[in-house]
Amino acid sequence: MQHQIIIALLMLTAATVPARADRIVAVAPLSTLGAEDKSTATKKLTTQIEQAIAALPGTKVVPAQQVLDAIGKAKKPQLKVCEGDATCVAEVGKLVGAQLVVTGEVGGLGTSQVVYLNATDVASSKEIRSTTLSIGTQEDGGGPTGAAVRLLDPDKYRGTVHFAIDVNNASVFVNGAKSQLSAKGDLQLPVGTQAVRVTHPEYHDFVKFVDVAYGKTTDVPVGMQQYPMVEQDLKSRPTNRDHYEYIDPPVWRRWYVVAPAAVALAVIAGIITYSQREQLSGTCRFVGGGDCTP
């Protein structure tokens, strides 16, 4: 009974202890034209960015409102808008105990907006990466989620390409490098345009530029066209020397028939040539003034 109580207490403790965060990221209030943007739309966008960053593995977020409260408590209003000053941004991170600080400048007109996001390392007081978040456009790059990945985990900014290849044992190359497909024919690739080539020794190469979208699967049907010569040769002759079968040639092509015949022909040709030379040299004689008479 006592043993069971101990186990229950351990499980309860484990459930109540928050997961350890590998990094703490503070989101500074977004600004517009060098001033804090307090509009409802910007506050909503800030919340979306915070949620996207918090969804990254091993990441804890210090929201913008908590950052504002810490700035007010420290009585340092100049930290509300750092205007790209990495030292100022690092000071904000130190106030809330963050390793990284994400800042943003909102621009654009009407419903189409662009947020210029930056990530600053607090320890070194240096900007480590930047990206843009497009709002109200067709090419949004994955929205706030995609922007968070590009900014903080760029290696994970990938999409899936599914290859449906109609032949077995084909090789897939992406931007010149050979790639290994999964058992289902899938391949994780960086977002953007990728040059794909599918090869097989018996088929024409399949070449295509594939646009990879973040968090989406792009289907690429691959129809390989076989070389005509290969198709005929595979039906009529083996491809491995070890499988060749020796077939006797016809009698008239065998060496012991061809060789004597060649010798005989050479002898006959020599006799004919010699006879013609003798005949030409003895057909006439010179008489008197040099006329040749038979």
Pairing state between β 186-190 and 158-165: antiparallel
pLDDT higher than 80, residue 291 = no
**Superfamily of 19-156 according to CATH:** ABC-type transport auxiliary lipoprotein component (3.40.50.10610)
Question: What percent of the chain is helix, strand and coil (3-state, nearest 5)?
Answer: 35, 30, 30
Maximum average pLDDT range among 74-83, 85-94, 231-240? 85-94
Q: How many residues does the chain have?
A: 294
What's the pLDDT band for 208 if we cut at 50, 70, 90? very high
Mean pLDDT, rounded, for 266-274: 70
Task: Determine the pLDDT at residue 18.
Answer: 44
121 with 74: CB under 8 angstroms?
A: no
Query: Does residue 256 sit in helix, strand or coil?
Result: helix
Q: Over 50: is that where the pLDDT of 15 sits?
A: no
- Mean pLDDT, to the nearest integer, of 177-187? 95
Q: Look at residue 3 and tell me whether its pLDDT is greater than 60.
A: no
The CATH classification number of 158-231 equals 2.60.40.1120
Residue 213 half-sphere exposure, CB side, CA atoms within 13 Å? 10
pTM value is 0.66
- Least-confidence region, from 93-97, 196-200, 233-237: 233-237
**C-alpha distance from residue 243 to each of 235, 237, 240 (Å):** 14, 9, 6
Q: Which of 106, 92, 31, 32 is nearest to 62 (CA)?
A: 92
For residue 67, CA distances in Å to 33, 81, 89 come to 20, 12, 11
Query: Mean pLDDT across the chain, nearest whole number?
Result: 81
pLDDT at res. 241: 46
Above 70 in pLDDT, residue 13? no
Closest by CA to 196, choosing from 172, 216, 218, is: 172
Per-residue model confidence (pLDDT) at position 10: 47
pLDDT tens digits, 133-172: 988 765 667 899 999 999 999 999 999 999 999 999 999 9
